Structure 1
Amino acid sequence: MARHPCVYILASQRNGTLYVGVTGNIAMRVMSHRDGRGSAFTRKYGVTRLVWYEFHEDFGFAIEREKRLKMWHRAWKINLIEATNPDWEDLYETIQMWAPMD
């Protein structure tokens, strides 16, 4: 199975708790967060809604982007989410449709 570097933001609800992560398999990673196996933070705060994601060609770039996003002010992250997902819809179902093909 090919890995596709992806940076993502999960939320507990609209304007709720946010979590920024990076993965090589966004569908499996989001499912692990939903199943309570993703991270202690997401499990503790119920952060399971995929509200933003961005694919990259290279893991180095994806990891660097994740680090930068984690340093952003909360308002900047909210603006990033709302630029493409103003209703804070759960984008999990769209992953398969938009994921890069092997």
Structure 2
Amino acid sequence: MRLFLVLAVLGNVLLAYLLVFGQQGVFTYLDTKHRRDEMAARLERVENRSLEISREIRLLKTDQAFLERTIRQQTHFLAPREVLYLLPGASGRTAETTGDAAHEE
């Protein structure tokens, strides 16, 4: 009877050790849960970015003003009769002024 009790206690100790430190133990579970949460957050960011890109593509296909503004921002093109003023010390930024008054003076 005593031998059975000792074996049962040793078995319980082994099972407790495996439950905490084993290949499918608590620490592995917590690590897997943390990685899943990180991946879910990354997936949400990617889905949001995908939605933004889809909206931008739709606008580029349908909205002429958006297309023109995007081209001008990315390629620094000027519209007809538009003057670009470069000011020193503007920390690398340029100021654009539109209008006919700049050409008439």
Higher RCO, 1 or 2 (CA under 8 Å, sep at least 6)? Answer: 1
TM-score exceeds 0.5: no
Which is greater in Rg? 2
Q: Of Structure 1 and Structure 2, which has the larger fraction of its residues in helix?
A: 2
TM-score using structure 2 length: 0.22
Q: Of Structure 1 and Structure 2, which has the larger fraction of its residues in strand?
A: 1
